[in-house]
Amino acid sequence: MSKIKSIGILTSGGDAPGMNAAIRSTTRAAIHNGMKVFGIRKGYEGMIDGDIIPLSSEDVSGVIQKGGTFLLTARSPRFRHYDGIKAGYEQLKKFGIDALVVLGGDGTFKGANELSDEFDIPIIGIPCTIDNDLYGTDYTIGFDTAVNTVVEAVDKIRDTASSHNRIFFVEVMGREAGFVAINSGIACGAEIIMVPEIQYDQLEKARKFLAERATKNKSSIILVAEGLKEGGAMDIAKILEPEFPQFDIRVSVLGHIQRGGSPSAKDRVIASRLGVAAIDALLDSQKCVMVGVAHDKIVQVPLNKTVKQHKSIDKDLICLSENIATYGPK
């Protein structure tokens, strides 16, 4: 059995639907195994400031269906420096916390990795980000909900686009990764999906599409990931609108609605599995790993590997989006 008697749980970086479900399962699995549990509010900022509270099974009752994170989250410039990391570690010692479970994305895991390197404290990461861009896991908590949120929003936008015969450029989150865009775009039948991973000129691709569409006079949805080198949806629309005055072109930036809302059933199940897996990893004397899901099985990946390796978008999905598009070859 592990010598760990007390754990801390924190959420850091951007929030993701399903974080509360993961806090719940982690807390209850830890208590089931005889551990004390503390919630660290406001991520690494709260750790530095000692904003730490005890958690019981009752404290996590009724949270599985809620979006966001009841422990709150924040970005911590102070934790990027040794003095901040040391101050956080001193607070953990003060509360008698033997190990950490951290929920977040690559920035969260970078901080966890540095803390573990400096002070040799066991840390388990649970991948929580709507971007789904963490190496070593097929899914991150929040991704499925975000995709469904985008699909629901685009379905509604398409209704009004069809009614007014408009071209809509819809921007979704994904600064460096197009996982949300490619999956939601396929699901909602977007005529064009523009993601950072596509190497050829996507502006020219949109231009050719509109030129072909001009003869058909039909409404369309062009889905744009925010991280394109060509710019966001607003930038692309401003370039193309003067070239195609016959179109009524509109832009919709979905923004932070993609982060909110009640988590999907899939996210709740994954969060529940990974919360228990995090405690199992600690009981197995793991020191610094992320628990993830690969081929529907729980896996453990070294934290330093998750932040150093790049997760690539499935090229088959890009090919699929091209093959079922309503326009000719690029």
Residue 211 in this model has a pLDDT that exceeds 50? yes
Q: Do domains 6-142+263-308 and 144-259 have the same CATH topology?
A: yes
Query: What phi and psi, each to the nearest 5 degrees, are found at residue 309?
Result: -90, 155
Res. 1 pLDDT band, cuts 50 70 90: very low
CB 141 within 8 A of CB 16: yes
Closest by CA position to 271, among listed 11, 62, 18: 18
pLDDT digits (tens, 9 = 90+) for 42-94: 999 999 999 999 999 999 999 999 999 999 999 899 999 999 999 999 999 99
The residues facing 101 across adjacent strands are: 9, 124
Cα 296 to Cα 264: distance, rounded to the nearest angstrom = 17
**In terms of DSSP H, where are the helices of 33-142?**
43-49, 82-94, 106-119
Q: Where are the domains of the chain?
A: 6-142+263-308, 144-259
Beta bridge partners of 7: 37, 99
Catalytic residue from among 106, 131, 144, 267: 131
Confidence of residue 127 (pLDDT cuts 50, 70, 90): very high
Which run of H or E residues covers position 270? Answer: helix 265-283
What 3-state class would DSSP assign to 298?
strand
Prediction pTM value = 0.94
Give the whole-angstrom CA distance, residue 23 versus residue 217. 50
Three-class secondary structure of residue 52 per DSSP: strand
What's the whole-number mean pLDDT along residues 313-317? Answer: 88
- Estimate the crossing angle of helix 106-119 against helix 82-94, to 10 degrees: 70
Is 106 an active-site residue?
no
pLDDT, residue 20, reads 98
Per the listing, tokens 């649970």 go with: 126
- Which is nearest to 168 in space by CA: 243, 254, 237? 237
Contacts of 62 (CB under 8 A, 6+ apart): none
Cβ pair 167, 222 in contact under 8 A: yes
Cβ 138 vs Cβ 260: under 8 Å:
no
Report the 3 state secondary structure along 171-190: EECCCCCCHHHHHHHHHHCC
Of the candidate CATH numbers 3.40.50.1110, 1.10.3720.10, 3.40.50.920, 3.40.50.460, the domain formed by 144-259 belongs to 3.40.50.460
Name the token pair of 259.
Answer: 């982060």
Specify which residues 36 forms β-bridges with. Answer: 6
Q: What pLDDT was estimated at residue 177?
A: 86
Domain 6-142+263-308 has CATH 3.40.50.450: yes
Of the given ranges (91-100, 132-141, 158-167, 252-261), which has the lowest mean pLDDT?
Answer: 158-167
pLDDT > 70? residue 205: yes
